Amino acid sequence: MVSKTGSNQQEFDRAQKVLVGGVNSAVRAFRAVGGTPRFIARSEGAYLWDVEGNRYVDYLGSWGPMIVGHSHPLVLERVRDAAGRGLSYGAPNVMETELAERICSLFSHVERVRFTSSGTEAAMSALRLARGFTGRTKILKFEGCYHGTADSLLVKAGSGALAFGQPSSAGVPEDLARHTLVAQFNDLASVKALFDAHPGQIACVMIEPAAGNMNLILPQKGFLEGLRALCSADGSLLIFDEVMTGFRVALGGMQQVSGVVPDMTAFGKVIGGGMPVGAIGGPAAVMEMMAPLGPVYQAGTLSGNPIAMAAGLATLELISVPGFYDPVVARLGRLIAGLREAAQAAGVPFSAQQLGTMAGIYMMPKVPQSFAEVMTQDVERFKRFYHRMLEAGVYFPPSPVEAFFFSSVHGDAEVDFTLEQARIAFRDL
């Protein structure tokens, strides 16, 4: 049982005495928006409740996983059922096979899967696999893209690393960081220049095919296709990090939306339904370089954990129902249009866009197309908007460089409430 709690501030003061920054993931500490993080007591449907009993319409969705909302009855039922058969075996169980079969059926290039316990592990393992498969050392990523916290990837990264002004983390040896080449999202010339400078040396290009960690930035027409061609020509592996976009932008992720097929994909978030899961997927020829079949080592005590598999399977079952996405996307579209109208009525320079069931809001007149552009938004105005909405009971991700997330249980009532509060929040912003 949770011990008796105090106010959010009291719990934050207490937490900071034993947890670094009072949190277990940096971006939760509200450093990008200021103020006191909300300590969540429970969640259900489209809502969170903090320890003071305040209710919020939740657009964080645990940073993406909660696409069918919190505490979905079917997900809880399957988790309870699995828990009754044991919490962890450290040995194969059939649900791992079932979830891997689902993923293989949805992603044409995926013939083999390896589950991990986080998106970080998935991206890190995909990177090691690419280096092991190609025998090459260099990797290429994009400024503002975030792939979790593996050393080689914490170079000009997005998400909290960007929000806190440390896109290239301390503690990553220069000897390692120099093998991470950095290009600009939507700038194919910056990618080609690096391939020209390092021919036959780049093991992989890792990208969020739609960026969600420098806020939502969509790939311009031809950009992903261009990456595909450059990688194929150079023998470099194209890795889509779909930890966030997978199952969010469509059931088949950005590869379904764009038609561009990568050589490997990193998954996470939605496939765990709120439980700790990541995964790598790719062709057998590449994946079978991984232990126990090949020389690239990879392992994890809780990888394929039965409770996590049960939550993931239940979530995928729910989102695979024909017609699941259309109403969710349409309702999110109404929210986006309403936010634009509210800002315009208040004369606030604002823009917003959606991609499937995820979206971005920007305190700038035009939707940004690049890292450089998104960094010109009015952060102080975002902070004011953020806290006005939070006080009004609407919980967006606590950062101007994060996408936000909708769910199948955000109904018209939640959209109407959010728009009502936004009309007030935009006034004299």
How many amino acids of this chain bind ligand KE4 (CB under 6 A)?
21
Residues between 149 and 178 that touch ligand KE4 (CB under 6 A): 159-160
148 vs 356 by CB, closer to ligand KE4:
148
Q: Which is nearer to ligand KE4, 377 or 421 (CB)?
A: 377
Contact region for ligand KE4 (CB under 6 A) — 38-46, 118-126, 361-369, 417-425? 118-126
- Shortest Å distance, C-beta 399 to ligand KE4: 8
Distance between CA 298 and CA 296 in Å, rounded? 7
Say whether 321 sits in a helix, a strand or coil: coil
143 counts as binding ligand KE4 under rule CB under 6 A: no
CB of 364 vs ligand KE4, minimal distance in Å: 20
Q: At its nearest, how many Å lie between ligand KE4 and the CB of residue 403?
A: 7
Handedness of CA 135, 138, 144, 149 (dihedral sign): positive
- CA gap 250, 319 in Å, rounded: 10
Cβ of residue 327: shortest distance to ligand KE4, in angstroms?
Answer: 25
The region of 10-18, 71-79, 142-150, 293-301 touching ligand KE4 under the rule CB under 6 A is: 142-150
What is the distance between the alpha carbons of residues 411 and 45, in angstroms, rounded to a whole number?
Answer: 10
**Backbone phi, then psi, for 25, in 5-degree steps?**
-155, 125
In angstroms, what is the minimal distance from the CB of 398 to ligand KE4? 10
C-beta separation of 56 from 44 below 8 A: no
Structural contact between residues 380 and 33, judged by C-beta atoms closer than 8 angstroms: no
58 binding ligand KE4? (CB under 6 A): no
- Least Å distance, CB 25 to ligand KE4, is 3
Does 219 interact with ligand KE4 (rule: CB under 6 A)? no
Nearest to 151 by CA among 179, 172, 175: 172
Question: What angle, 0 to 180 degrees and rounded to 10, lies between the N-to-C axes of helices 306-319 and 73-83?
Answer: 150
Closest-CB residue for ligand KE4? 119
- Sole window of 37-45, 141-149, 232-240, 303-311 interacting with ligand KE4 (rule: CB under 6 A): 141-149
**Is residue 218 near ligand KE4 by the rule CB under 6 A?**
no
Segment near ligand KE4 (CB under 6 A); pick from 44-52, 238-246, 306-314, 404-412: 238-246
Spatial contact of 413 and 332, defined as CB atoms under 8 Å apart:
no
Interaction pattern, residues 10-49, with ligand KE4; x per rule: CB under 6 A? ---------------x-x----------------------
Tokens describing residue 71: 């505490």
Is position 148 an interface residue for ligand KE4 (rule: CB under 6 A)? yes
d(CA 9, CA 15): 10
297, two tokens: 């080592």
Interaction with ligand KE4 in 271-330: which residues (CB under 6 A)? 278
Within 10 angstroms of residue 177's Cβ, the number of other Cβ atoms is 16
Q: Does 359 bind ligand KE4 (CB under 6 A)?
A: no
The 3-class secondary structure across 173-214, one letter per residue, is CHHHHCCEEEECCCCHHHHHHHHHHCCCCEEEEEECCCECCC
Q: Count the Cβ atoms, other than its own, within 10 Å of residue 233.
A: 11
DSSP one-letter string for 238-287: EEEE-TTTBTTTBTTHHHHHH----SEEEEEGGGGBTBS-EEEEE-HHHH
Residue from 186, 213, 265, 298 touching ligand KE4 (CB under 6 A): that is 213
At closest approach, how far in Å is the CB of 405 from ligand KE4?
10
| Exposed e or buried b per residue across 105-118, where buried means at least 16 C-beta atoms within 10 angstroms of its C-beta | ebbebbebbbbbbb
Which residues are part of the catalytic machinery? 146, 241, 269
Of 123, 280, 311, 316, the one binding ligand KE4 by CB under 6 A? 123
Rule CB under 6 A: is residue 118 a binding residue for ligand KE4?
A: yes
Choose the stretch contacting ligand KE4; rule: CB under 6 A; options: 112-120, 314-322, 357-365, 412-420: 112-120
Of the pair 161, 352, the CB lying nearest ligand KE4 is at 161
Q: CB 150: neighbour CB atoms within 10 A?
A: 17
Would you count residue 248 as binding ligand KE4 (CB under 6 A)? no
- Choice between 212 and 368, CB closer to ligand KE4: 212
**Footprint on this chain of ligand KE4 (rule: CB under 6 A):** 25, 27, 63, 118-120, 123, 146-148, 159-160, 208, 212-213, 241, 243-244, 268, 278, 402
